Structure 1
Amino acid sequence: MKPEEETREKIDQLLEIAGWKVQDLRELNLGASQGVAVREFPLESGNADYLLFVDREAVGVVEAKPIGTTLSGVAEQSEKYLTNIPKEIPHVREPLPFAYESTGIETFFRDTRDPEPRSRRVFAFHKPETLKEWLSHSDTLRARLKYLPQLITRDLRDCQIEAIQNLEQSLAESKPRALVQMASGAGKTYTAITLIYRLIKFANAKRILFLVDRRTLGRQTAQEFQQYITPDDGRKFTELYNIQHLTSNTLDLVNRVCITTIQRLYSMLKGKPEFDEELEEHSILEFPPKFEF
C-alpha cells in the first residue's frame, strides 16, 4: 500500500468513528447522513482531499498528508480550498469555517471564524453535530473571550484582581497557555471560581475542567463552588450551573464544571471503565511510582 493510500485509509476510519459518512464523488448522496465527507471533491483551486458537508451544506475541508509530515507548516495548503466555492455547491459561508490537516496519525484543526485563526492539534475529528452547534453561534469562543465585561472587584484581594485580569488578557490575546502563580493562602480556588463563572456566563464556555492532584482537594473545591456567591447575580454558583465531582469514570454532559484528579482523568483518557479511588488519596506528584493504570 502506498503512503498516500495508507493515510487515506486511516483518515476514512477516523471520520467514520466521529460519525461521518465517507463517500466518493461518483456515489454522492448528501442525504445519507447529517455529516458527509466526500473524497477528492473538485473545486476551483483543485481537488479537496475531503469536502465536509453538514446538513447538505459544505462546512470545511480535510487536507490529507503522508505519515511523518509536519502538519504545523502546511495550514496554508488547506486554506486555498476554503474560498472560491462554486455557487452550485451549497455552503454555510465563505471562507468555509473549518479546516483540518491530517496524516491519519496526527490531526490539526482551525476555525477560520476566530479573530486570529491558528491550527491546533486535536485527538479526533469533531462530530458533525458539534460543528453544527458551533455554527449556531454568531461568534466563536475565542471571539467572545476578547469582550469580557469589566471585573467586579468587590470582595477580591489585589492579588486576585491582578491574577484574573492578567489571565483574561492572555485569553483575549489567544494565547493557548498561561501560568498563574499565587502565594499559599492567597485564595487561589476562589480566584479560579471567579474566573470560571465569568467564562461560563460571559464567554459561554461549554464545560470547564478543574483538575486537582488528590481527592481531598477535589472535595474541598466542590464545597467552595457550592458556597460561592456570584458577584453580579447574588445567587450561588450551583444555583445557576451544575458541577460534577467525578467519583466514577462517567461524565455527565449537563454539567458546566467537572472536578477530577489527574489520576482519574488519565484513566478515562486511556479508556478505562473503572478506577480505584485509593489511587486518588495521594498526590501523583509525590508518589508517582505507586500509580499504575
Structure 2
Amino acid sequence: MEDYSEEDTKAKILEPIIRANWDEKLIQRELRYTPGRFRVVGQNSSRDTKTSKKVDYILWKDRASQQPLAVIEAESNKHDDSYGMSQALDYAEDLNIPFVFASSGRNIWYFKNRITQEESTIKLGNLPDYDKLISMLDEQPDAVDAPYYVDLGETPREPRYYQRNAINAVVESIVRGQQKNLLVMATGTGKTYTAFQIIYRLLYSNTKKHVLYLADRDVLISQTMNNDFKPFVDKGIITRVGENPEKVETAYQIHMALLRSQ
C-alpha cells in the first residue's frame, strides 16, 4: 500500500466511506473546540494553537439540537489502525459523544461504544450508518430533540463545548422528570447564556410553560434582559416580577425576580 499522510488518508480512503454512509448535513469536519493555551513570556502573551483540540470528524444525531453522535479520528496509514484511538477517546470524553471510531485507512475501524463500554473492530467498508448508531442509543423522549436558539446576527454565537454538554444534560434530565439539577460554572464561562438555551429549549418543546429566574441584584436582571435574554424580550414573553406577588402577570412565560437576602 502506498504511504499516505493523514490528510491523504482522509481524502482518499476515509472520506469516500463516510460520505457513502452518512448524509452530508450530519458530517462536520475539522471541529476545533478549544483555541489552545496562552503562553506568557515577560509582558507578552500569545495563543499556542498547537495545544488546541481539533476533531477530524463529528457525526451528528441532530444539528439543531446540538447532539453529536460519533467522533472519528484519522491517522496516516503509516500507523496501525488503532493508533488514533486514545486521542479519539479523549475527544469523546470532552464532547460527551457516545460512539468513537479510529482508523489509519489500512483495513479496519477501531470502535468503542461508550454507553456499554464495548470495543470491537469493523471492516473499513462497513462503517455503521445513522440508523445503526441510533439503534444503539438508549431511547430518548422527543423533547430532548428540541432545537437550540440560533443567533442570526453578524457574529452568530455558538455554544462552547462544555456549555453544550451542560445544556443537553440538564434538558434531558428535566424532560425525564428530574426535579432538581445543579450546574457549577466558574465566572466568565457563560452561565447566563447556558441558562438561556436551557429555557429556550424547554419552552420550545412545551416541557415547561413558565420559568422563574432569580437573581440577587437588580443589575443582574437588567443585564440579563438586555443581553443573553434579549430574544425573549423581543418576543414579548418575559417580564419582571414586582414587589406585590398578587400582580404577577401569568400571560408571560418567563418571570424575572429578585431573591431577597434575609
TM-score range with shorter-chain normalisation? 0.3 to 0.5
Ranked by relative contact order (alpha carbons within 8 Å, sequence separation 6 or more), the top structure is 2
By percentage of residues, which structure has more strand?
2
Q: Normalising by structure 2, what TM-score?
A: 0.39
